[in-house]
Amino acid sequence: MWLYVACLIGLYYLFRWYRERQVVSNLRDKYVFITGCDSGFGNLLAKQLDLRGLRVLAACLTEKGAEQLRRETSDRVETVILDVTKTESITAAAQWVKERVGNKDVCTELMTKENLMKTMNINLFGVIEVTMSMLQMVKRARGRIVNVSSIMGRVAFCSVAYCCSKHGVEAFSDCLRLDVQPFGVKVCVVEPGYFKTNLTNVQKLQECSENSWNKGPVEVKESYGQEFFEKLLIRNKNSLQKCSTNLHLVTDCMEHALTSHYPRYRYSAGWDAQFFFIPLSYLPTVLSDYVWSANNPKPAHAV
């Protein structure tokens, strides 16, 4: 009996491998719009898809980032300046894309109240607004939408603002996928684990953490204590130092979602995502809470 079960499982993965190896036809005629191309995943994906022959429309936050990307890619890559927190910038970028693609295919790529809203504006509301501003073009082209969430969109144990924004990207993508399926549009979500980019910088983490701690209410700092803050900072530093540097694990998922005839709805990028975070997300809450809190420092006034 177990032999039959093993054969069925093997046939399933063989069939999935075969389906996922099939590539969309006429890739060189396809346009892909990517946000966040100054550095990190967006920058690497733009270069990767350029090598595959796709026509890349890369949105950068700064002219310096755009100029550097143009120097490192072919003339198939065009750049535009985009600040996803500003409606006028999004509108201008959408018009820029429309002028270039016409009716061709497009694939799109997502404490204090002030800090919360800043993170939500970039990671969630920016993703939603950019997507919705180009949705009609994508529907006409029967194209793809690929949103970048995070493994923190499946589990939550640190950084309230970040986890809220990534859970929001997951919910938005799921709702959107159901809405646009009748139009032949596929919506995919990439959920990276821990990767080392310009945003996962130890020095930046320390500066940000110290700034938040110093500006925090006195009663909050007293209840947690200076020792708690210092131990928490050390733990976070150690976590960042273990981040994977192989960004291709993420951009390969993005490329597959854009080019495969049968893309997955969700891609878990990184060994930590596939073999630690995802399995952990299925545990009973009491067990997952224990795992998350096992190595946490204790506040000074904890019960």
pLDDT digits (tens, 9 = 90+) for 210-236: 666 666 666 766 777 777 777 777 777
Please name which of 23, 266, 30 lies closest in space to residue 148, comparing C-alpha atoms. 266
Which of 216, 222, 213 lies closest to 301, judged by CA? 222
Over residues 108-134, the mean pLDDT reads: 80
Handedness of CA 243, 160, 146, 80 (dihedral sign): negative
Please give the residue that has the higher pLDDT: either 134 or 197.
134
- Report the distance separating Cα 47 and Cα 58, nearest Å: 10
pLDDT, position 118: 82
pLDDT at 110: 44
Element (H, E) at 33: strand 31-34
Structure tokens at 27: 């890739």
Q: How far apart are CA 29 and CA 262, in angstroms?
A: 19
Q: Check the CA dihedral 49-53-59-62 and report its sign.
A: positive
What is the structure's pLDDT at 220?
67
What's the pLDDT at 8?
84
Q: Environment class of residue 120 by beta-carbon count within 10 Å: exposed (0-12), middle (13-18) or buried (19+)?
A: middle
DSSP-derived secondary structure for 66-86: HHHHHHTS-TTEEEEE--TT-
For 28-195+246-271, CATH gives 3.40.50.720
- Please, which residues have CB within 8 angstroms of residue 61's CB and are 6 or more apart in sequence? 36, 38, 81, 82, 83
Q: How many CB atoms lie within 10 A of CB 190?
A: 26
pLDDT band at 145 (very low <50, low <70, confident <90, very high): very high
- Predicted pLDDT of residue 192: 92
Active-site entry in 12, 13, 18, 162: 162
pLDDT of residue 205: 59
Q: Are strands 144-148 and 106-108 parallel, antiparallel or unpaired?
A: parallel
Parts of the chain belonging to CATH 3.40.50.720: 28-195+246-271
Alpha-helical regions (H) of the chain: 2-20, 40-51, 63-71, 87-101, 113-120, 126-141, 160-180, 202-215, 218-224, 226-241, 248-259, 271-272, 278-281, 285-293
162 counts as catalytic: yes
DSSP label at residue 198: T
pTM of the entire predicted model: 0.77
Q: In this predicted model, what pLDDT tens digit does every residue of 50-109 receive, in sequence order?
A: 999 899 999 999 999 999 999 999 999 999 999 888 888 988 888 898 888 876 656 554
* Under 8 Å between Cβ of 165 and 120: yes
In this structure, what DSSP letter does residue 302 have? -
Residue 50 contacts residue 76 (beta carbons within 8 Å)? yes
Task: Count the neighbouring beta carbons within 10 Å of the beta carbon of residue 236.
Answer: 16
155-206 residue pLDDT tens:
887 778 888 899 999 999 999 999 999 999 999 999 998 887 766 555 555 6
Separation between Cα atoms, residue 142 and residue 152, nearest integer Å: 30
Residue 5, burial from CB neighbour count under 10 angstroms (0-12, 13-18, 19+): exposed
